[in-house]
Amino acid sequence: MRRESLINVLLAAGLLGFPLWAYVMNEPFLITLSTRVAILALAGVGLNIALGLGGLVSLGHAAFFGIGGYAMGILASHAQSYAPLMESPFLIEGTKSMPIIWLVAIIASGLAALMIGGLSLRTSGVYFIMITLAFGQMFFYFSISWPAYGGEDGLSIYVRNGFPGLNTLDPIQFFLICYVLLVAVLFFANRLAQSPFGLALNAARQNAMRVETVGITPYQLRLTGFVISGMITGLAGALFADLNRFVSPSMFSWQTSGEIMIFVILGGTARLFGPVAGAAVFIALEHILGGLSEFWHIYLGVLLLGIVLFARGGIIGTLAGHEVRHD
Amino acid sequence: MSLILLIEQILNGLQFGVMLFLTAAGLTLVFGVMGLINLAHGSLFMIGAFAAAATAAATGNFALALMASMAAAAAAGALIEVCVIRRLYDRDHLDQVLATFALILIFSEGTRWMFGSFPLYLNIPEMLSGPIALPGGIQYPLYRLTLIAIGLIIALGLFLLISRTRLGIQIRAGESDREMIAALGVDITRLYTIVFALGAALAGLAGALIGAIQSVQVGMGEPVLILAFVVIVIGGIGSIKGALIGSLLVGVTNTLGAVLLPATFKLIMEPATAATVGSSLASMLIYILMAIVLIVKPTGLFGVRV
């Protein structure tokens, strides 16, 4: 077994084992922390498709995360108040059913990714970074200035949405839902990376001109990759909102984009389980350093700086060696 | 909507625009010359504002506060250039984004640690406070008018610096071929530090000048940084002229949109809905402007490189 595969299995087992242990020890807070890791890792897996596979440095993924969150918030708040979302031309009612909310979150964030990606992929490099950041900020300001769904204060949902056959209010059951989704998406991302599409996208990252000479348009590849990436991050956003039973404009903030990117880089860009390792370390740091000092972001900053300057390849890259080099 | 109000808003937009220009100019220079994307530029803006507020609180002298803002931001800029940024010039943009994001975390939390979470206030000097009567019976705050003047003078100075001085020649040469000018005996390392500190000083000055209108607080730099990005995307990377025109365009669009859009929607909708739709749309207006520029000219109005 390759060293990286072994690390992946250990990570997957650890992320499942830790909350189960916490369940036995009756520590619901630790289960919630693990759920956060699973959800944030999912957001990172989404970004990793654009960033790692496609080489698209998107600093605007908070847009999709937030859209997923608001998809949940809007649908659930309408179900909560029994007021239909729309009456004409046809009736749309709110819902408290997770699968429907997920579907809506995925579609809505996919459409947003199509719009943002369609425009920003006309450029590349540093322009792309700035434009995605700017579009993310556009959604942030829009969510603040649109008063119907809480505006600046955000939107609270009193009861967590339901999943058929499960009690989602039980932390361990909600964790398992998130975990299964994460594993399913990881499986999908792995297959995607090995599919003809994934190989072509990877090739376009390494040398766009060669890809173009064999008759593939990099723009379409990248746009497809970007949309898939946005959809996954949107799904994570819906789950995150459900975890907190609260959604607010801060999900759209540029810091959120930065943090999702940190999960990916901390773990290791283009590594399948990179976001899982990154999110787990991030949450652990937040929990441990946050308990030591109010200013734990300083330590995070220094750590991140150290990783960028000296330990390229992130956690998995350092542990597994450079079997899959990424530059 | 009276004409006077409209002119006032245009002036507000110009004032906002020239302050954006001070921030965007450094960013676009650094990108043009060193090919570096610096997210921590907003932190330098914040450092300038805090330095000014602390100096003004200690001495009560506004001019001294402005000088302190430039000195502090330039020093911080030179420090991070020498310690961190220098190692990033040969890296890809992703590394630059991450390292400068890490710098934001360090600067923001460090400032919070030093000054606390409560906003500081920087008072407008006595001499510049109060309104001034403009031709046509417009009463406009003197301080804001001074900001427009300062911004335009600095823009002019920057043009002269780039087009007429030896340093400007080196900067322009550095933009087109850094290896060649190094071969010709220009100390490129020193040049980079100077350009970076210059951009930082401008951002710091903008922070101090804006800080007197708003409050001085942690996190004040990033919204300006992102707007400066929009400016650069519209104006074209590396172009000072583009940064100036982009800044004024963004400043005026943003300010006028916030006033005119709700008023326009009132003509066709009921007032409550019009205010909501208008202000929401106004908050998106500059990004829509950016999208239009991207569709028409992906390299920005004055940019050449993709």
The percentage of residues in chain B with a pLDDT greater than 70, rounded to a whole number, is 99
- Looking at residue B126, its amino acid is E
Angstrom distance (rounded) from CA B228 to CA B38: 11
Q: Is B110 helix (H, G, I), strand (E, B) or coil?
A: helix
| Residues of A whose CB is below 8 A from B79 | none
A21 touches chain B (CB under 8 A): no
> What residues does each domain of chain A span?
30-261
Are B210 and B124 spatial neighbours (Cβ–Cβ below 8 Å)? Answer: no
Name the residue facing A119 among B99, B112, B294 (closest C-beta).
B294
Q: Which of A266, A248, A237, A250 is nearest to B101 (CA)?
A: A266
Task: State pTM to two decimals.
Answer: 0.90
Contact A134 B290 (CB under 8 A): yes
Chain A residue with minimal CA distance to B290? A131
Q: Is B119 helix (H, G, I), strand (E, B) or coil?
A: coil
Q: Is A89 helix (H, G, I), strand (E, B) or coil?
A: coil
Query: What is the per-residue DSSP string for A207-267?
Result: -HHHHHHTT--HHHHHHHHHHHHHHHHHHHHHHHHHHHTEE-GGGGSHHHHHHHHHHHHHH
Q: Is A197 helix (H, G, I), strand (E, B) or coil?
A: helix
The distance of A219 to chain B (nearest Cα, Å) reads 14
Assembly ipTM: 0.86
> What residues does each domain of chain B span?
10-122+140-296
Q: Is B139 helix (H, G, I), strand (E, B) or coil?
A: strand
Contact B282 A269 (CB under 8 A): no
Angstrom distance (rounded) from CA A280 to CA A260: 12
The top-level CATH class assigned to B10-122+140-296 is: mainly alpha
User: How many angstroms separate the Cα of B301 from the Cα of each of A292, A298, B287, B295?
Assistant: 49, 38, 15, 11
Instruction: Give pLDDT, residue A322.
Output: 60
Residue A222 has pLDDT above 90, yes or no: yes
**Which residues on adjacent β-strands are paired with residue A246?**
A156
Question: Where residue B305 falls among pLDDT bands split at 50, 70, 90?
Answer: low
Angstrom distance (rounded) from CA A81 to CA A142: 23
| Residues of A whose CB is below 8 A from B114 | none
The model's pLDDT over A26-76, given as tens digits with 9 standing for 90+, comes to 988 999 999 999 999 999 999 999 999 999 999 999 999 999 999 999 999
Residues in CB range of B247: below 8 A, 6 or more apart: B17, B18, B20, B21, B24, B231, B235
The B-side interface with A (CB below 8 A) comprises: 31, 35, 37, 84, 87, 92-95, 97-99, 101-106, 108-110, 112-113, 222-223, 226, 229-230, 232-233, 237, 276, 279-280, 282-284, 287, 290-291, 294-295, 298-299, 306
The model's pLDDT over B210-246, given as tens digits with 9 standing for 90+, comes to 998 888 999 898 889 989 999 998 998 878 889 999 9
The model's pLDDT over B121-131, given as tens digits with 9 standing for 90+, comes to 888 887 888 88
Residue A241 has pLDDT above 50, yes or no: yes
A145 touches chain B (CB under 8 A): yes
Query: Which of B43, B229, B292 would you mutate first to test chain A, the one with the most A CBs within 10 A?
Result: B229
Tokens 């010709």 label which residue?
Answer: B184
Please state whether the peptide bond connecting residue A89 to the residue before it is cis, i.e. omega within 30 degrees of 0: yes
Kindly state the average pLDDT of the residues A176-187. 96
